[in-house]
Amino acid sequence: MKEKKALRRLTKIQSLMSDVTQRYSANALVREVLQDAKVAVTRAKDAVSSQASSGAKKNPPVKQVEPTSNATPETSKPKRKLTAAGRKAISTATKRRWALKRQEAGESSKGASKKPAGRANAAVESTPAQAATKAAS
């Protein structure tokens, strides 16, 4: 925890302890214990503040070597945008892929039966082009 934050918290604790000590006056023994606790917090606060003032900071601020100029900072590259032609090319390619998948799904469902579930090493169904080459040989 940083020294400044610790000092702030210890100060808050110290004020709360003094408030409780003033309000709780029923038992002398309890009042004495609260007073001892307040003294301990005060000692801790003094120790932290003396450590903060005596020790140098671990990471001193970095000094700039060159003075800052009034020139505008280097702008980053502009964001690349997709042109209309590029969008159209992507769209047509996607449509072609979908049509191919639909065509393959239609052919496989018409000609061959589905594989039974549970057969891990079942033979792979061939495409019509592979079947034609097997028949020719």
Using the predicted structure, report yes or no on whether residue 120 has a pLDDT greater than 60. Answer: no
Inside any domain, residue 122: no
Query: Confidence band (pLDDT; 50, 70, 90) for 122?
Result: very low
Inside any domain, residue 82: no
Inside any domain, residue 42: yes
Q: How many domains does the chain have?
A: 1
Per-residue pLDDT tens over the stretch 24-34: 777 778 888 88
Inside any domain, residue 93: no
Q: Which domain holds residue 37?
A: 1-9+24-51
Inside any domain, residue 116: no
Q: Mean pLDDT of all residues in the chain?
A: 77
Q: Judge whether 45 and 11 are in contact, CB under 8 Å.
A: yes
**Nearest Cα residue to 6 out of 38, 37, 49:** 49
How high is the pLDDT of residue 106?
A: 87
Q: Judge whether 125 and 104 are in contact, CB under 8 Å.
A: no
| DSSP secondary structure code for residue 62 in this structure | P
Inside any domain, residue 121: no
Extract the tokens encoding 36.
């001892």
pTM score, whole prediction:
0.36
